């Protein structure tokens, strides 16, 4: 089945009928000069330079935007050409020339560049796949070829007949390629589209989206229809899926989940088992959150030998080495966030992990530290009270309980009992001093991440089945956790058998609704319903790097519906970031989004059954709705009806909403990242072939003033908006604070205190203008 992209591709190889139109004297001079040149074709042949072919190529790009003049673009291209250039190099020069014309005044040049890049990709794909026209080729033959060279999983053709593949090929919409701006299309082609063994483009954008959709739909009863629905949501850029899903769906090793969370116990076997799990997760592109709060502190006893323990830092350095070593086929280092409780004796060493001062043997520069903070600590900071640090091993030995295994009032009772016991070693330090260390590290390095553990557990809809100890690499996942335990190891005639009891090894399956393209409630509801179903399918169609991940994923069936295009949405609606209107509007909007997510999961539960632990959950008892004040009201969601439906039918997914950073996939969608404000309305990004100017989405005279830049925003408004959203987010949000070097310590502290008081569960990076921090690629959705 051959699908052609009609008007985008005609005439690329032939002279344009308009090429003989009168041109300015300067261009005539260039034409005469250029026609003395020769060019080198991809196969090494030399032929005379064709002015008409190049001008036709440029004209096709300029047709992407009405009123953009091919002669202006050509004037920037001609001076860069030289005799004997390869045709591929000429195309790169033309594309880069269009890119560099992008400006605040003329942002649409990025779409001209995208069209030129697209035409070049069409040409490459046609050559690599052996068909003679410029556009889309035979999708069925592409699948066969990619399967033959090991790039496509054989399971796709096992689930779809030739007729079904032909029907889906006919459904491809090549004109949707025109939705991409330059950065988005280049990101998709460079990082996600499948290439051949010589790194040549094989898969074009719409084929990529269809391949992912076929994977996500292949176990549906009406798989062709659902593949079309998933394709429509992805190809229109109204929804993005997480980087592992977009990258790995349809491939032989289809690890589709973004982030994982594990927690070792206080023993050698458990710690190394976590390290092994991290290595296997990293190998397939996942990020990791690791809670180390059960590991004994530095100077504690081991087997009754006082002072033998090196504490948590040596083990964290071990995880750091794994992150560097398991570098995902050399593409990028693995990534892990490591969390520790603020009452742990090693907390002061922990807060120095990434700083540039102190003993280098106590550093782990590739690890992202996070601190788990109870309400009690924040109250002690506020009242400038004393704080006590304990070793969790010594607490277990002396007190008979694990302090880290409780939260809220129970934690406070246990903590006070520890303080009151004179036989329990402790370190006393003013709470504000620890807070100062947190702030100092955040100012210098952007970390630690903050996890408000009491708030997270208080609002956990599955507290009947466990508790949450920490978050993940991007601070948006909040789910029950427990250690995986080795229960038996036997040997029989040289065969060693190990039995392991799986703990709650957290997995997050993500996708994001692009508010930049979904602006009304009907389209939001439609997309959310499709997203929930697609993410739920990920759970059953995943290649799990470790078996305990599969156990936990089937047990909770947790998903994470996220958001991108948030600032774009506000700017296009004319809502100022620093306003009550912003806070009020997003409170209403996210209530609807959450309502649609719960509704979709309830309908799936009615069709396929609820998750295994639904009975006794806050969903089943109705406590979920009470804690958030959800009741029906005129003009709002019908919460009373939905609560009854959930009690009757259940929900399919134990956790539903989690807002990831989307730093990578929002580029593809041409939207703003996650819930962040834009860093700049216009900026230049340096690439190896030159600079790439980028603008805020749909930047024009109307939206310009609503795109207030991140570091100029009063962060109190960002916290208030985050708090308004948090009520409707059962997990958490990748929420960044943006500060400038001139912020005072008092102002900085006030931001943390406000975040805690307003009920935020996590704080991601502190992004200072003077500090470069890494974006998480694994969680980009």
Hey, CA dihedral for 119, 125, 128, 130, is it positive or negative?
A: negative
Nearest to 561 by CA among 590, 522, 584: 590
Distance between CA atoms of residues 99 and 184, nearest Å: 12
Q: Retrieve residue 498's tokens.
A: 């190990």
User: Which residue is catalytic, options 259, 418, 470, 474?
Assistant: 474
Give, in degrees to the nearest 5, the angle at Cα 621 between 617 and 622. 110
The single residue of 181, 472, 480, 594 carrying the catalytic annotation is 472
Determine the longest span between alpha carbons in the chain, in angstroms: 95
Helix (H), strand (E) at residue 240: strand 239-241
Angle at 365 between CA 364 and CA 366, to 5 degrees: 95
SS3 750: helix
Q: Show the DSSP H helices in 400-461 as ranges.
A: 408-420, 431-445, 453-458
Q: Is 457 a catalytic residue?
A: no
CA dihedral 377, 382, 385, 386 (to 10 degrees): 30
320 as an active site residue: the answer is: no
Q: Collect all residues with Cβ–Cβ distance below 8 Å to 707 and sequence separation of at least 6.
A: 567, 571, 677, 678, 681, 696, 699
Say which of 404, 476, 572, 599 is annotated catalytic.
Answer: 476
Q: Annotate 312-359 with DSSP letters as a single string.
A: HHHHHHHHHHHHHH--TTTTS---EEEEEETTBTTHHHHTTSS-SSS-
CA-closest candidate to residue 272, choices 284, 282, 262: 262
For residue 626, report the phi and psi dihedrals to the nearest 5 degrees: -65, -45
Query: Which class for 66: exposed (0-12), middle (13-18), buried (19 or more C-beta within 10 A)?
Result: exposed
Cα→Cα distances 765→434, 451, 713, Å: 18, 12, 16
What's the rounded Cα separation, in Å, for the pair 684 and 695? Answer: 9
259 assigned to active site: no
Question: Distance between CA atoms of 18 and 165, rounded to whole angstroms?
Answer: 39
Give the catalytic positions in this structure. 472, 474, 476
């Amino acid at each position: 089945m051959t699908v052609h992209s009609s008007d985008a591709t005609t005439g690329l190889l032939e002279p344009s009928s308009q090429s003989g139109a009168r041109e300015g004297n300067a261009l005539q001079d260039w034409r005469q000069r250029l026609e003395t040149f020769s060019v080198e074709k991809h196969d090494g042949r030399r032929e005379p330079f064709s002015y008409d072919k190049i001008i036709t190529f440029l004209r096709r790009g300029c047709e992407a935007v009405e009123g953009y003049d091919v002669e202006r673009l050509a004037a920037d291209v001609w001076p860069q050409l030289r005799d004997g250039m390869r045709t591929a190099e000429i195309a790169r020069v033309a594309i880069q020339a269009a890119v560099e014309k992008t400006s605040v005044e003329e942002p649409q040049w990025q779409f001209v560049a995208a069209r030129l890049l697209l035409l070049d990709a069409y040409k490459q794909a046609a050559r690599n796949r052996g068909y003679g026209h410029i556009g889309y080729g035979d999708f069925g033959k592409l699948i066969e070829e990619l399967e033959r060279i090991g790039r496509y999983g054989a399971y796709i053709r096992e689930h779809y007949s030739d007729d079904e593949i032909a029907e889906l090929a006919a459904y491809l919409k090549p004109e949707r390629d025109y939705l991409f701006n330059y950065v988005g299309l280049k990101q998709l082609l460079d990082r996600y589209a499948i290439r051949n063994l010589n790194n040549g483009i094989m898969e074009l954008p719409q084929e990529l989206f269809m391949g992912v959709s076929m994977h996500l739909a292949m176990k549906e009863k009406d798989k062709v229809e659902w593949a079309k629905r998933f394709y429509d949501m992805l190809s229109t850029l109204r929804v993005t899926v997480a980087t592992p899903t977009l990258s790995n769906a349809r491939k032989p090793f289809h690890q589709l989940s973004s982030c994982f969370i594990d927690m070792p116990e206080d023993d050698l076997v458990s710690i190394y088992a976590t390290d092994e799990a991290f290595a296997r997760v990293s190998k397939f592109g996942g990020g990791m959150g690791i809670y180390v709060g059960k590991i004994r502190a530095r100077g504690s006893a081991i087997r009754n030998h006082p002072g033998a323990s090196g504490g948590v830092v040596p083990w964290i350095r071990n995880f750091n080495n794994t992150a560097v070593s398991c570098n995902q086929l050399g593409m990028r280092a693995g990534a892990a966030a490591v969390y520790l409780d603020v009452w742990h004796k090693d907390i002061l060493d922990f807060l120095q992990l990434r700083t540039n001062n102190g003993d280098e043997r106590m550093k782990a520069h590739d690890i992202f530290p996070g601190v788990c903070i109870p309400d009690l600590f924040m109250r002690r900071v506020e009242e400038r009270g004393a704080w006590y640090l304990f070793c969790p091993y010594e607490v277990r030995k002396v007190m008979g309980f694990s302090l880290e295994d409780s939260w809220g009032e129970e934690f406070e009772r246990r903590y006070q009992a520890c303080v009151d016991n004179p036989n329990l070693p402790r370190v006393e330090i003013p709470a504000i001093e620890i807070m100062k260390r947190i702030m100092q590290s955040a100012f210098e390095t952007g970390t630690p991440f903050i996890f408000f553990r009491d708030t997270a557990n208080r609002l956990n809809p599955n507290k009947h089945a466990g508790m949450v100890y920490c978050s993940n690499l991007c601070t948006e996942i909040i789910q029950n956790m427990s250690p995986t335990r080795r229960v038996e190891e036997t040997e029989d005639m040289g065969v060693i058998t190990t039995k392991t009891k799986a703990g709650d090894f957290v997995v997050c399956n993500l996708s994001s609704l692009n508010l930049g393209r979904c602006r009304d409630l009907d389209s939001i509801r439609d997309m959310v319903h499709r997203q929930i179903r697609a993410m739920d399918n990920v759970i059953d169609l995943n290649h799990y790097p470790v078996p305990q991940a599969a156990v936990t994923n089937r047990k909770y069936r947790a998903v994470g519906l996220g958001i991108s295009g948030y600032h774009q949405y506000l700017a296009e609606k004319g809502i100022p970031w620093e306003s009550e209107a912003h806070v009020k509007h997003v409170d209403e909007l996210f209530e609807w989004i959450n309502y649609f997510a719960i509704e979709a999961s309830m309908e799936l539960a009615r069709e396929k059954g609820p998750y295994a632990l639904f009975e006794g959950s806050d969903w089943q008892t109705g406590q979920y709705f009470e804690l958030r004040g959800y009741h029906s009201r005129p003009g709002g969601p019908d919460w009373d009806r939905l609560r009854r439906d959930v009690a009757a039918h259940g929900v399919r997914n134990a956790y539903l909403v989690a807002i990831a950073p989307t730093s990578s996939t929002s580029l593809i969608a041409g939207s703003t990242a996650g819930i962040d404000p834009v860093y700049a309305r216009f900026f230049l990004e340096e690439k190896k072939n030159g600079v790439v100017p980028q603008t805020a989405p749909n930047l024009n005279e109307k939206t310009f003033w609503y795109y207030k830049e991140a570091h100029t925003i009063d962060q109190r408004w960002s916290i208030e908006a985050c708090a308004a959203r948090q009520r409707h987010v059962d997990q958490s949000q990748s929420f960044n604070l943006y500060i400038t070097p001139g912020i005072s310590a008092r102002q900085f502290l006030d931001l943390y205190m406000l975040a805690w008081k307003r009920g935020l569960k996590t704080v991601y990076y502190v992004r200072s203008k003077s500090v470069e921090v890494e974006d998480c690629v694994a969680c980009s959705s």
